[in-house]
Structure 1
Amino acid sequence: MSIFPLEYLRHIMDEIEYLIDRSANLSKEDFLGDETLKRAFVRSIEIIGEAVKKIPSDFKQKYSHIEWRAMAGMRDKLIHDYFGIDYEIVWDVVTNKIPTLRLKIKEILDKERPI
């Protein structure tokens, strides 16, 4: 297997770790009131989506239980609807989807790690 899918997964994991770290002990209200943090969270989600798009389709098929299309789609929505970003959705993604995604990506990295 090419090392490239794993490199993209590591980028995804870096952004996941950032989002989890920065959202820990943060209220939704504090998030919604912090322009810098909102922009940072959106950027992390964009990076995750961009990395997903670079993962080869055969690798995505191998791990079809991951919502690859949804991750890429969120990135596209954020990029193309920049002035219409719904930060409530961003908060929901970070607090409800990202922790589960972290477990799934970690599982893949552990399984695929070169010996």
Structure 2
Amino acid sequence: MASQSTATQSTPAQLVDMRRAAGLTRRELAQLSGVAQPNIAAYENGDEMLRLAAEAILHRIGEAVIRLDGEFTASHPEVRWRAMKGMRNLVAHGYGAVDYGILWNALAHSLPREAAHVRRILDEGP
């Protein structure tokens, strides 16, 4: 029971961390790639630092999701918590070669949608 209480108390902090990491995504990738709006070509042709930064962002978000209380995530099924954890596992453990097209899709399309859900949850209060 003590761990549930700790997880519940840390939920807002985990959500803020997720929101912050998601907000960094486009800005940081733009700075690293040297383009105003990062796109798949800039990402695929970028150097290793750009790809590692993208992986770090996804890893950080997944770590925040892992620390969320199960009851909390179950009460917000509109957020794809499991997919975020899965992406973290992919970049953390490799599972062979990382498909940068999949990572880009997560960063450019899925993550902004999930970040909007997280912002709404924070605005409403967990």
Identity %: 25
Shift of 1:30: 1.1
Distance 1:26 1:67 in 2: 24
Is the CA contact 1:8–1:54 (under 8 Å) kept in the aligned structure 2? yes
* Match of residue 88 from structure 2: 75
How many Å separate the matches in 1 of 2:26 and 2:9? Answer: 26
TM-score (norm 1): 0.89
Would you say 1:33 and 2:48 are equivalent positions? no
Distance apart, 1:83 and its partner CA: 5.3
Aligned-pair distance for 1:20? 2.7
Higher radius of gyration, 1 or 2: 2
Letter of the 1:90 counterpart = L
SS in 2 for 1:12: helix
> What is the deviation of 1:23?
4.6
Match of 2:108 among 86, 90, 95: 95
TM-score (norm 2): 0.82
1:14-33 → structure 2 map (5 Å cutoff) = 14-23=20-29, 25-33=37-45
Q: Distance in 2 between matches of 1:101 and 1:64?
A: 11
Q: Mind listing any 5+ residue stretches in structure 2 that lack a counterpart?
A: 31-36
Match of 1:66 in 2: 79
Shift of 1:65: 1.4
Partner of 2:16: 10
Question: 1:33 & 1:65 partners in 2: Cα distance?
Answer: 34
Matched, 1:57 2:70: yes
